[in-house]
């Protein structure tokens, strides 16, 4: 299965987190919000101007900018086309 960072995922993409990288304090905050390796993430949509993204993680909706999404690497499972 292909590995990619979250900021490059289109709406409808779902995957499992393999690892996080980047600035430790950002990584920590992302992890505290539930983005730990193994967790499933689903990309819901992009904001009208293309940034930030809306994702579902651990059953809730979160918005994050592409810049931050870059820290999260996923193994893509499936792409549901809506």
Partner 1 sequence: MSSCHSHAASRQRLSGAAEPSNGAEAPDRPRYIALVGNPNAGKTTVFNALTGMRQKVANYPGVTIEKKEGRCRTSSGRQVILLDLPGTYSLESRSPDEDIVRDVLLGLQEETPRPDMVVVIVDSSNLERNLYLVTQVAELGLPVIIALNMLDLAESYGREVNVNLLHQRLGMPVVPLVARKGRGVDKLRQYLDDYPRDVEWRIPLPAAIQTEKESLAAGLSQSLGVDLHLADALALRMLSNEELAKKVERRWGHNWQPRVAAARRRLADEGVALSSDEPTTRYHWITDLCEDVMSVPSHEVKTLTERVDRVLTHRFFGPLIFLALMAFVFQSIYTWAQLPMALVESGVTHLGRFVSAVLPEGPLASLLVDGVIAGVGAVVVFLPQILFLFLFLAVLDDSGYLARAAFIMDKLMSSVGLHGRSFIPLMSSFACAIPGIMATRTIDNRRDRLLTILLAPLMSCSARLPVYTLMIAAFIPNTRVWGFFRLPGLALLSMYLLGILMATAVGWLFRQTLFPGKPAPFLMELPPYRSPALRNVAITMWEQGWQFLSRAGTIILSISIVLWFLASYPHYRPKPGESPAAVAGAQIRHSYAGRLGRLIEPVVQPLGFDWKIGIGLVGSFAAREVLISTLSTVYNVGNADESSVTLREALRRERRPDGRPVYTPLVAVCLMVYFVLAFQCVSTLAVVKRETNSWGWPLFMMGYLTTLAYVVTFALYQVGKAMGWG
Q: Which of the 8 DSSP states describes residue 9?
A: P
Distance, CA of 7 to CA of 63 (rounded, Å): 12
> What residues numbered 21-60 form the site for partner 1, per CB under 8 A?
23-34, 36-37, 39, 44-45, 47-52, 54, 58-60
1-to-4, 8, 15, 17 alpha-carbon distances in Å: 10, 15, 10, 12
Shortest distance in whole angstroms from residue 77 CB to partner 1: 14
Q: Would you count residue 10 as binding partner 1 (CB under 8 A)?
A: no
Residues lying near partner 1 in the complex (CB under 8 A): 20, 23-34, 36-37, 39, 44-45, 47-52, 54, 58-65, 67-68
């Amino acid at each position: 299965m292909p590995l990619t960072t979250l900021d490059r995922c289109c709406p409808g993409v779902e995957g499992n987190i393999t690892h996080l990288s980047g600035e430790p304090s950002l990584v920590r905050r992302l992890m505290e919000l539930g983005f730990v390796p193994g967790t499933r993430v689903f990309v819901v949509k992009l904001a009208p101007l293309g940034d930030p993204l809306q994702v579902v993680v651990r059953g809730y909706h979160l918005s994050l900018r592409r810049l931050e999404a870059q820290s999260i690497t996923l193994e893509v499972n499936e792409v549901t086309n809506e």
